[in-house]
Amino acid sequence: MTIANLLPITPTALLIASSTVLLLILGKKFFNGGSCSITKDLTGKVVIVTGANTGIGKETARALAHLKATVILACRDAKRTEPLVLELQKETQNKNIEFIPLDLADLQSVKAFTEKFKSKYRRLDILVNNAGVMAPLQRRTTKDGFELQFGTNHLGHFYLTCLLLDLIKASGPSRIINVASKAQVHGKMNWEDLMYEKNYSPFATYAQSKLANVIFSKELQRRFDAEKANVKAVSVHPGAVRTELSRYLQENILLKIVYYVSLPVYYFMVKSAKQGAQTSLYCALEDQDKLKGGEYFADCKVTKVNPDGFREDYGEKLWKVSEELINKKTQ
């Protein structure tokens, strides 16, 4: 008896098989999201990408290096980043790739980074605030005592951006890209306890930090518009991406088992890091007059956002609170 006898190929079976394959292809295309097709010669342009030694940041830096930009990899881990500099220089034939240490969970490190950057560069065309942490199961704090997610995802990038604003504005047309998350949809600003010292929740805290990214981007744009500065600030959702961002969740043995059991579905529904970088790249490369400043992007287009993200009173309040928190630690 042959395989053909065991598995008779009937017209109905062929239809079911072909329909299944087609649905899988269309489904994967849907989950992969939009793609950036813009290419430009970025020779002479200076770019900073935080968290550029892995995941979305790495692919963002790689693509911009291929376009001949001067790319600064702003990362914590020298052992992982220094070899990447050599790898990217060789791959892209672009020698203008540099590593400058940056730990967003340490305000002194942020200040040291900007001082070193400014000692070497006189312009900044694109700032990609990409680095982040997600959902430590137990509450953790930064070196300065801030809750880790709010301190890293928002305050570290807020301080970095503010210290670089003079160069960014002087380099216009320029832009700031804050990598947020769809988690912002569920975010609420816990104004009475921003650091979640009471009733810590990993995901509520993460969602708050991502909502803060959106609020910060919108407030930046309001200020740029008021000053008539030629700068665009946007926030982006990269999509669900296979990166190291979920590493804290795997500290729980049950969640780790669930992760490995669901790997086939996970790989089908989740983007690669390269695919996850597409919206950041779109916002980095779109023509200045076409990029909608202050908006929230996903799959290379403007999309819906948590209404709190665009509240002007929240923008003013977050800016003021952020300055006060940082000033207490740095002055």
pLDDT tens digit sequence for 142-159: 999 999 999 999 999 999
Query: Would you state the pLDDT for residue 200?
Result: 97
* Phi, psi (deg, nearest 5) at residue 50: -80, 150
Q: Does 111 map to a domain?
A: yes
**Predicted pLDDT of residue 24:** 43
Mean pLDDT of 182-195: 97
Across the range 122-140, mean pLDDT stands at 96
Structure pTM? 0.86
Q: What pLDDT is attached to residue 239? A: 80
pLDDT digits (tens, 9 = 90+) for 201-258: 999 999 999 999 999 999 999 999 999 999 999 999 998 665 554 555 555 556 555 5
- Which range has the worst mean pLDDT, 40-54, 56-70, 229-243? 229-243
Question: What is the model's pLDDT at position 25?
Answer: 46
Cα 146-152-155 angle, rounded to 5 deg: 70
Task: With CA atoms as reference, report the closest residue to 177 among 53, 51, 20.
Answer: 51
pLDDT of 47 over the 70 cut: yes
Residue 10 lies in a domain: no
Q: Is the pLDDT of residue 7 over 70?
A: no
Three-class DSSP category at 71: strand
Q: Is 2 among the domain residues? A: no
Mean pLDDT of 192-197: 98
In a domain, 244, yes or no: yes
Element (H, E) at 72: strand 70-75
Q: Tell me: the pLDDT tens digits for 279-310?
A: 999 999 999 999 999 999 999 999 999 999 99
Whether the predicted pLDDT of 3 surpasses 50: no
Active-site residue, selected from the candidate residues 159, 206, 248, 296: 206
CATH of the domain at 71: 3.40.50.720
Q: Spell out the alpha helix ranges (H) of the chain.
A: 3-6, 11-32, 55-66, 78-92, 107-120, 148-149, 157-170, 202-227, 253-261, 263-269, 273-276, 278-285, 312-330
Note whether residue 1 is domain-resident.
Answer: no
CA distance 22 to 29: 11
In the predicted model, is pLDDT for residue 23 greater than 80?
no
Q: Is 206 a catalytic residue?
A: yes
At 97, is the secondary structure helix, strand, or coil?
strand
User: Which pLDDT score is estimated for 271?
Assistant: 82
* pLDDT of the residue at 241: 61
20 occurs within a structural domain: no
- Give residue 28's pLDDT: 39
Average of pLDDT values for 121-138?
Answer: 96
- Using pLDDT thresholds of 50, 70 and 90, give the confidence band for residue 105: very high
Which residue segment(s) compose the domain that 148 sits in? 42-330
As a dihedral over the C-alpha atoms of residue 112, residue 116, residue 119, residue 125, rounded to 10 degrees, the angle is: -100
Q: Which range among 81-90, 100-109, 218-227, 239-248 shows the weakest confidence by mean pLDDT? A: 239-248
**Position 91 in a domain:** yes
pLDDT of residue 124 exceeding 90, the answer is: yes
The number of distinct structural domains making up the chain is 1
**pLDDT above 80: residue 21:** no
Please report, as a single letter, which amino acid is at residue 127: L
Could you tell me which of 161, 51, 60 has the C-alpha nearest to residue 110? 161
Specify if 163 maps to a domain. Answer: yes
At a CB cut-off of 8 Å and minimum separation 6, what does 172 contact? 229, 230, 231
The DSSP 8-state label assigned to residue 156 in this structure reads I
Per-residue pLDDT at 186 exceeds 50? yes
Instruction: With cut-offs at 50, 70 and 90, classify the pLDDT of residue 118.
Output: very high
Q: Percent of the chain scored above 90 by pLDDT?
A: 78
